[in-house]
Amino acid sequence: MEKYASVVPVKFFPLLLIFLPFMCSAQLPFENSRFAEVDGERIHYRVWEAAEGSPGSRAAGVVLIHGFGASTYSWQQVADSLSQSGFQVIAVDMPPFGYSTKTPGINQSFTAHAMRLHRLLHEHFPGKNWHLAGHSMGGGVAQAYSLMYPQDLESVTFVAAALFTRLPHNDHSVNLLLRLSPLRIIFGEFIQEWLINESLIERLLSSAYGRTPEPDQVRAYLEPLLLPGTMRAILSAPAYHRELKRLKAPDLELPSLAIWGEDDSWVPFSGRKPALESMKDTELVLIKGAGHNPMETHFREFMGVWLPFLENFK
Read off the CATH number of the domain in which 263 is found: 3.40.50.1820
Distance CA 135, CA 140 (A): 8
Question: 172 to each of 95, 168, 169, 241, how far by Cα in Å?
Answer: 22, 12, 9, 10
Q: How do residues 10-34 score in pLDDT, each as one tens digit?
A: 443 343 333 334 334 447 899 999 9
Does residue 24 form part of some domain?
A: no
The domain total for the chain is: 1
Query: What's the confidence (pLDDT) of residue 177?
Result: 42
Read off the pLDDT of each residue in 275-283 and give the average, rounded to a whole number.
92
* Confidence class for position 56, pLDDT limits 50, 70, 90: low
- The pLDDT tens digits of the residues spanning 213-260 come to 999 999 999 999 999 989 888 888 888 889 999 999 999 999 999 999
Per-residue pLDDT, 196:
77
Which pTM value belongs to this model? 0.86
pLDDT-wise least confident of 26-35, 128-137, 267-276? 26-35
Nearest Cα residue to 214 out of 297, 302, 93, 97: 297
57 pLDDT band, cuts 50/70/90, is low
The answer to whether position 27 is within a domain reads no
pLDDT class for 61, splitting at 50, 70, 90?
Answer: very high
Residue 148 placed within a domain: yes
Contact, 267 vs 299, CB < 8 A? no
Q: Residue 10: its pLDDT value, please?
A: 42
Identify which has the larger pLDDT, 115 or 6: 115
Q: What is the pLDDT of residue 223?
A: 96
Segment 177-203, tens digit of pLDDT? 444 444 444 444 444 544 678 999 999
For the cut 70, the answer to whether the pLDDT of residue 306 exceeds it is: yes
Contact 157, 259 (CB under 8 A): yes
Between 187 and 310, the more confident residue is 310
- Taking a C-beta distance cutoff of 8 angstroms, is the pair 258, 285 a contact? yes
pLDDT at 51 over 90: no
Domain hosting 281: range is 33-311
295 within some domain: yes
φ/ψ bin of 288: left (φ > 0), alpha (ψ from -120 to 50), beta (otherwise):
beta
- At residue 37, does pLDDT exceed 70? yes
% the chain with pLDDT above 70 = 82
Please report whether residue 266 resides in a domain: yes
**Residue 269 is assigned to a structural domain of this protein:** yes
